[in-house]
Structures are given as structure tokens and as C-alpha cells.
């Protein structure tokens, strides 16, 4: 049995960790169906790896904010439970790999000692809330968006509205109109705006809805150019409620918000959102702007560090490409480029030991898999460079052509088709060795994914690659789909990249050379890379790259993927990220009882809105169990409601099941309504159990 230190963030955390241990034990004993258990562990940040018998654990780092103590704790946990490595992700999380399932409760308990969680880091939940890493120190920001990102993290973590969605849901906050958090690829994206009325500053946000990558990128649409800061959480909760009720739940390829928007129409969706406003927990929500404290700023240091002559040029390039002046006078932000997002635990410890007297004790994980260090004094920059250089962390060109974003690909992911990690290292080497001037180019972004799902964000890259394969001469060859012309335009506008041509993976460096060579010759004639691409057109680039794709010139080496010695074998597993749940009837009834129990707990705590939503889920889950027992499948909650109402309401003596369930958005979340609604949920649950007329699993 687990034991817990008093420093755990709350009794709720301890309860959830014990519950995870209990459910793992039940799964091992065959009492929980495999598919159901998969959804349970995913919602707790535990993701099955490509390698059998081990898990990836995703650690949720809200908007990438992390302290020395926290990163050292994660390093300790990775040493004890994982592979002694930290992987920084494009959603500002940290992942550790090769973890035994049975040890995950203990791992979670240790992380919680330092206020770190894995809860809802995977699965059909609200994922990590991202924000521009520069938030709070960005010279261009109207105000600091970090408190708003933190507010969203706290409001929706463990919120019954977002615990069991039809698919994952993502929020993103950009610091300024530069849109460095790529607001347009989030389900809801925010860009800060300021108005003035009678000389008073009014804060708000431009709001974008429905953004997503995946195999079919969708650029978020504008809801409004200014939503008052106190309204963004109520609006977001209403969106989640509509998405929960009407979103697809069977075909995961059609289950993101973008598909629901296409199905019902943008204006109709917003009408449903407005209809839901009455039932939200809050009608306005004031974000605590003071929740993000100014970190402890390092004292002035009389550094004796001098840059050696043989390092002087490297230092100058690093300072020009990896540092910037903060809006706080006299301080610099410093980017650390972390190759493929991987940092060994031993390096992490040496890093903290070497920099902690030079930087503030609050770093940010960046969306392109690096770190941002804050409040560095100008006179401390040489010493900081030497510390980073000693650790191999001083590569210049952060966020430039030389800074390639990549997902883990076939290293650990079930869905990976090709080795994206090694390809990214190869492409970065090409830039450093052959195109040194491009380390100063921060417009062009190169992004790689191991498959079409765009975890490496290739769908919005200026130059993108995703792993694929094809049969050539009777043999399977690893290939990459080349994409061009994507990227952020600014102020919430973005572009999805065009699929141009597919080439053997080993020839991806030739693609990069061809594009950079051609652009270098023509750049003076165009305002930007995107102008260059648009003016010449997709077919121009197809013809430019066509010789590289020529199958008549393939060699044996083209059949071997990057980082491998053997001929390529296309072997992918079943994706788990927000996977579909296949419920057995008995398991589903047990789950219905559990949800009703949560409703009672929330009611006892006077959390009326939470109690009502748990009651709503009790009704949906119970009806779904009956339909499943009858061999009827519905892919949305609204479909479950209507199907049960039409076919079984009379049999269960429930007059107007649809009307009863949908009371949820016709009433304020009051004590009186919560009491009445939960009574109806209790009566319905008893009828479902009596109908089944068999022992309920877990009773």
C-alpha cells in the first residue's frame, strides 16, 4: 500500500493515486476490461509505448513553468522509474519513458510532493494549457497571459465537464500578436488585447475556435476580436459542454471539435454555446493576476568568466540568436536549444547546478522543445554561455531554420512509421554545416512527425515532413511526405502546409538543400518565404523536387530508415492518445454507479454545478448501458439521449427522458435543482440495475 507525505498538494490527489493503484490491481485480476482500463490510465497521463510492457508517462507542466526543484524531482523520478531521460514536448509537457505500469501510482505520489501532476495529461481530456514561453517578459505583450493560462489549468483540472470528452481538447495563449503559441492550432486560442474606456485599461482576448492539426489541419476561426477577460472561462466551459454532448465518440478520426463545427456549422455551434451559458458554473470569472509571482531574481555576480578566443565567434552567434532583452530593463531572456527535446537526467542536474546563481528560479519549457531562462543579467551572459557550452547546450539558432521540431516517432510511439528523431538531427546538421547564415533566419520553421498525425506540427511548417512508406520494386521503403507553405502569419492567422511530394526518407536532406538553395537565389525578390512559395506555386516545387523522388534511382540504402541498420519494416500499433472506449455492459453500469457517487460527493461539498454535471453523466452512462445491452450503438451523447427516449423510455417508466436529461441547460446550477436532478439520476440508476438483474461489477 502506498504511503503519502504531508506535502501532497491536496487530499484529493492522495485519493486519486490510491484509486489508480486499486484499478491497476483490478485490471491485473481481470475485473476491468482492457479497453476501459486503457481510458482510465490515459486520463492519468499513462500511455502505452511501442515497446510492450512499458509506459510513457506524461507530466503536465502548465504553460511550461518549472522551477529548479521541480525539474530535479522529475529527474529523480526518471532515474528511479524510467530511462534517466527527460523529453520536452511541443505542448510544454515533460515525458519520461519505459515505466512499469504497476509503479505509476508510486511515481505520481512522488511527483505530487513538489506540486507536479500527471492527471489528464493524455486521453479524452483538456490537455496541458500552453502559452508563449515569453509571457511576463515579452517586450511586445499587452499584458502577461501566464496568470490566465494558470487559471484555465486550475479551473478545468478535475472538472467534470472535461474529464471524459469524446476526444482531447486544447487551449493556447499567445503573449502578443506575433502569436508564438500558435493560437490557431488550438481548440480555443487566445491573443491578448487591450481597450481603453474613460482612460481605464480594459483587458480582453481575441478568441479563435476549432483549430487542430492531425491528418486534416484546421485553422481556428475567429469568434470575436475582443472578449472581456472575465468571460473567457465561462465561454470555454460552455464550448466544452456542447462538445461533450454533440461530439463524435465512436470514430476517433472524426471526434475533434473541428469536425463538429463542420457538421453543425459555425454559427449554429455558437448558438448552442450561448444556450448553454445558463447552466455554467460561473457567469463571470475573474482571473487572479497575482497568481504568478515575480521569481527570485539572481543577485549581481562579479563574474570572472572570459570567453576563450576559440569560442568568441560561437559566443557572438549564440548571443545574437538565443538571447533577447526582456521588457524588464537590464535583464535578458536566454533560449536553450535542446536537441530533439531530450535531456538526460545527469545533464539536467549539472545544468541546474551550473545556472541557478545566474538565472531566475522559474524556467519555461517552450513549444519547440527547448527551455527559456529568465532574468539573466547582461554581465552574466558569458558565464552562462560557458556553462551551457560545457553541457552541449549552447547550439545557436533557437527557433531558426536550424531548430527542427520533432515528435518521438518510432523511438517510442505506437503510431510512428519512420524515425523522425534521427532525421531531425541530420537536417539540423545540414543547416549548421552547409547553410550557416540560416541560423539567423527565424521565419522558416522545419517540423517533422513520424506519421501523419502531426505531433511534430508538420502540418503548419514552412518546410514539413511526415513519416510514411511505399512499396517500390516489391520492397517496403520508408518515405516522407514533403509539405511546404504553412506557418503563423500573426494575430491568430495561420496557414496549413500543402502536401507537395513523397520522397524516400534518406533523401529528405536533398529536399532541404533543394528548397534552401532555390530560396537563397530568389529571396531578394520576395517579402518572405511564404510570399516566395505563394508566388511560384505548388507545382513549381513539385517539379523542383520531382527528380529527388525518382524511383528509378533508388539504392539499397533507401530501404533502410534513419538510425537503423536493417531493411525497413512498417510496423505500427494501435494509437492510444484519446483512444475510443469499448465498454462492456457490466463495466459501464459499475461506472454509472461511480459517477453517481461523485455527484453525491460534489453535492456534499456544495459544488452544485459539479454535482449536476456528474448527475448528467450518470444518466448518459446508464442509458448507454441499456442501449449497448440491446446491441444499439450511438456515437454522441445526444444520440444516446434521443435513442433511449425513443426506444426505451416507456419500458423504464421514464416520461420524457430527453427532456429530463436536458434540464441541465435550462436551469441555474442551484442547490434546489441539484437536489432534484440527482434524485432523478438515482432513480434512473436503480432502474438500470434492476433491468440488468445481475450482480453489478465491483459491488
pLDDT tens-place string over residues 157-175: 999 999 899 999 999 999 9
Q: What would be the CATH architecture of the domain defined by 309-390? A: 2-Layer Sandwich (3.30)
Query: What mean pLDDT comes out for the span 303-330?
Result: 94
571 band by pLDDT with thresholds 50, 70 and 90: low
Locate CATH 1.20.120.330 in the chain.
Answer: 585-692
Question: Looking at residue 37, what DSSP letter applies?
Answer: H
Q: Which residues pair with 218 in a beta bridge?
A: 212
Of the given ranges (63-67, 312-316, 695-699), which has the lowest mean pLDDT? 695-699
β-pairing, 65-66 with 363-365? antiparallel
Residue with the larger pLDDT of the pair 166 and 691: 166
Q: Is 14 helix (H, G, I), strand (E, B) or coil?
A: helix
Q: What is the DSSP letter of 379?
A: G
CATH no., domain 585-692: 1.20.120.330
The architecture of the domain spanning 11-112 is Alpha-Beta Complex (3.90)
Confidence of residue 476 (pLDDT cuts 50, 70, 90): very high
**Chain region(s) in the chain for CATH 3.30.413.10:** 130-279, 405-557
Mean pLDDT of 229-238: 98
In this prediction, residues 369-397 reach a mean pLDDT of 97
What is the model's pLDDT at position 173?
98
pLDDT at 581 over 70: no
E strand residue ranges, 137-217: 171-173, 188-197, 200-209
Res. 436 pLDDT band, cuts 50 70 90: very high
pLDDT band with cut points at 50, 70 and 90 for residue 224? very high
| Residue matched to cell numbers 528523431 | 421
**Which of 116-125, 427-436, 445-454, 556-565 holds the top average pLDDT?**
427-436
Outline which parts of the chain fall under CATH 3.90.480.20. 11-112
Measured CA distances, 52 to 33, 49, 364, 412, 565 (Å): 18, 7, 32, 10, 22
- DSSP SS3 for 464: strand
* CA 241 to chain CA mean position, Å: 20
- Whether the per-residue pLDDT at 580 is higher than 50: the answer is no
pLDDT for the residue numbered 575: 54
Residue range 267-287: mean pLDDT, rounded: 97
Band (354; pLDDT cuts 50, 70, 90): very high
Mean pLDDT (whole number) for 351-365: 97
Which fold, 405-557?
Answer: Sulfite Reductase Hemoprotein; domain 1 (3.30.413)
Query: Can you give the pLDDT at residue 697?
Result: 36
User: What's residue 694's pLDDT?
Assistant: 45
Instruction: Measure CA of the first residue to CA of the last residue in the chain; give whole Å.
Output: 22
Average pLDDT over residues 554-578: 77
130-279 topology per CATH? Sulfite Reductase Hemoprotein; domain 1 (3.30.413)
645 vs 215: which has the higher pLDDT: 645
**C-alpha 570: how far from chain center:** 26
What single DSSP character describes residue 419?
-
Q: What is the pLDDT of residue 428?
A: 97
**How confident is the model at residue 11, as a pLDDT?**
62
C-alpha closest to that of 675 among 623, 599, 598:
599
- Mean pLDDT, the chain, integer: 92
Residues 28-51 have a mean pLDDT of 84
Decide if pLDDT at 6 tops 80: no
User: How confident is residue 576, by pLDDT bands cut at 50, 70 and 90?
Assistant: low
Q: Is the Cβ–Cβ distance between 366 and 64 less than 8 Å? A: yes
Mean pLDDT of 44-50: 89
Q: In this model, does residue 696 exceed pLDDT 70? A: no
> Which residues contact residue 383 at a Cβ distance below 8 angstroms, ignoring those fewer than 6 apart?
301, 303, 305, 358
Kindly state the cell numbers that stand for 505.
Answer: 526518407
Q: Would you place residue 146 in the very low, low, confident or very high pLDDT band (cuts 50, 70, 90)? A: very high
636-640 average pLDDT score: 97
Measured between alpha carbons, how far is 262 from 539 in angstroms, rounded to an integer? 29
Q: pTM of the entire structure?
A: 0.93
Ranking 112-116, 132-136, 150-154, 672-676 by mean pLDDT, the lowest is 112-116
**Residue ranges of the chain assigned to CATH 3.30.70:** 309-390
Does the pLDDT of residue 234 top 70, yes or no?
A: yes
What ranges in 538-606 are assigned the alpha helix state H? 538-545, 585-604
Amino acid at each position: 500500500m502506498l504511503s503519502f507525505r504531508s506535502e501532497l498538494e491536496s487530499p484529493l490527489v492522495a485519493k486519486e493515486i490510491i484509486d489508480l493503484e486499486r484499478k491497476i490491481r483490478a485490471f491485473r485480476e481481470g475485473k476491468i476490461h482492457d479497453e476501459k482500463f486503457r481510458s482510465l490510465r490515459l486520463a492519468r497521463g499513462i500511455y502505452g509505448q511501442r515497446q510492450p510492457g512499458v509506459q510513457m508517462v506524461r507530466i503536465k507542466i502548465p504553460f511550461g513553468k518549472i522551477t529548479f526543484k521541480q525539474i530535479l524531482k522529475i529527474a529523480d523520478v526518471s532515474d528511479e522509474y524510467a530511462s534517466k531521460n527527460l523529453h520536452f514536448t511541443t505542448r510544454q509537457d515533460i515525458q519520461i519513458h519505459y515505466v512499469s505500469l504497476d509503479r505509476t501510482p508510486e511515481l505520481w505520489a512522488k511527483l505530487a510532493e513538489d506540486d507536479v501532476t500527471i492527471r489528464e495529461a493524455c486521453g479524452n481530456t483538456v490537455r496541458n494549457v500552453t502559452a508563449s514561453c515569453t509571457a511576463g517578459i515579452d517586450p511586445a505583450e499587452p499584458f502577461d497571459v501566464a496568470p490566465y493560462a494558470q487559471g484555465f489549468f486550475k479551473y478545468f483540472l478535475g472538472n467534470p465537464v472535461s474529464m471524459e470528452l469524446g476526444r482531447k481538447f486544447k487551449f493556447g495563449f499567445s503573449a502578443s500578436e506575433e502569436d508564438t503559441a500558435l493560437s490557431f492550432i488550438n481548440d480555443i486560442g487566445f491573443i491578448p488585447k487591450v481597450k481603453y474606456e474613460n482612460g481605464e485599461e480594459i483587458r480582453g482576448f481575441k478568441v479563435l475556435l476549432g483549430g487542430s492539426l492531425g491528418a486534416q489541419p484546421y485553422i481556428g476561426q475567429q469568434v470575436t476580436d475582443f472578449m472581456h477577460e472575465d468571460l473567457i472561462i465561462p465561454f470555454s466551459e460552455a464550448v466544452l459542454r456542447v462538445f461533450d454532448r454533440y461530439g463524435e465518440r465512436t470514430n476517433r478520426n472524426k471526434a475533434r471539435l473541428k469536425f463538429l463545427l463542420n457538421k453543425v456549422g459555425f454559427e449554429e455551434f455558437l448558438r448552442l454555446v450561448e444556450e448553454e451559458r445558463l447552466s455554467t458554473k460561473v457567469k463571470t470569472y475573474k482571473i487572479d493576476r497575482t497568481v504568478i509571482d515575480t521569481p527570485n531574481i539572481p543577485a549581481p555576480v562579479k563574474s570572472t568568466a572570459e570567453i576563450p578566443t576559440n569560442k568568441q565567434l560561437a559566443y557572438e552567434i549564440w548571443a545574437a540568436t538565443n538571447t533577447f532583452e526582456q521588457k524588464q530593463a537590464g535583464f535578458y531572456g536566454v533560449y536553450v536549444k535542446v536537441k530533439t527535446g531530450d535531456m538526460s537526467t545527469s545533464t539536467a542536474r549539472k545544468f541546474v547546478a551550473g545556472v541557478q546563481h545566474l538565472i531566475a528560479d522559474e524556467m519555461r519549457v517552450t513549444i519547440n522543445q527547448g527551455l527559456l531562462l529568465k532574468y539573466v543579467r547582461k554581465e552574466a551572459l558569458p558565464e552562462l554561455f560557458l556553462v551551457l557550452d560545457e553541457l552541449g547546450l549552447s547550439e545557436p539558432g533557437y527557433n531558426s531554420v536550424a531548430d527542427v521540431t520533432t515528435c518521438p516517432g518510432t523511438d517510442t510511439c505506437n503510431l510512428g512509421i519512420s524515425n523522425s528523431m534521427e532525421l531531425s538531427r541530420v537536417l539540423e546538421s545540414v543547416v549548421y554545416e552547409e547553410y550557416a547564415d540560416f541560423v539567423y533566419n527565424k521565419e522558416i520553421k522545419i517540423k517533422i512527425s513520424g506519421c501523419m498525425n502531426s505531433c511534430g506540427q508538420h502540418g503548419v511548417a514552412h518546410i514539413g515532413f511526415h513519416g510514411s512508406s511505399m512499396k517500390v520494386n516489391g520492397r517496403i521503403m520508408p518515405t516522407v511526405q514533403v509539405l511546404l507553405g504553412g506557418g503563423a502569419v500573426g494575430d491568430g492567422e495561420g496557414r496549413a502546409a500543402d502536401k507537395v511530394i513523397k520522397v524516400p526518407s534518406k533523401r529528405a536532406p536533398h529536399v532541404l538543400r533543394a528548397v534552401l538553395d532555390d530560396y537563397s537565389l530568389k529571396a531578394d525578390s520576395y517579402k518572405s518565404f511564404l510570399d516566395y512559395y505563394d508566388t511560384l506555386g505548388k507545382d513549381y516545387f513539385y517539379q523542383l523536387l520531382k527528380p529527388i523522388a525518382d524511383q528509378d534511382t533508388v539504392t539499397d540504402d533507401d530501404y533502410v530508415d534513419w538510425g537503423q541498420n536493417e531493411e525497413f519494416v512498417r510496423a505500427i500499433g494501435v494509437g492510444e492518445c484519446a483512444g475510443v472506449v469499448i465498454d462492456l455492459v457490466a463495466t459501464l453500469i459499475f461506472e454509472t454507479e461511480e459517477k453517481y457517487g461523485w455527484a453525491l460527493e460534489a453535492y456534499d461539498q456544495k459544488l452544485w454545478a459539479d454535482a449536476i454535471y456528474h448527475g448528467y453523466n450518470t444518466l448518459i452512462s446508464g442509458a448507454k448501458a441499456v442501449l449497448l445491452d440491446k446491441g444499439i450503438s450511438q456515437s454522441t451523447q445526444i444520440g444516446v439521449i434521443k435513442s433511449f427516449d425513443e426506444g426505451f423510455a416507456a419500458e423504464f417508466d421514464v416520461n420524457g427522458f430527453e427532456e429530463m436529461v436536458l434540464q441541465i441547460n435550462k436551469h441555474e446550477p442551484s442547490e434546489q435543482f441539484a437536489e432534484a436532478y440527482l434524485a432523478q439520476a438515482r432513480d434512473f440508476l436503480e432502474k438500470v440495475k434492476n433491468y440488468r438483474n445481475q450482480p453489478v461489477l465491483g459491488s
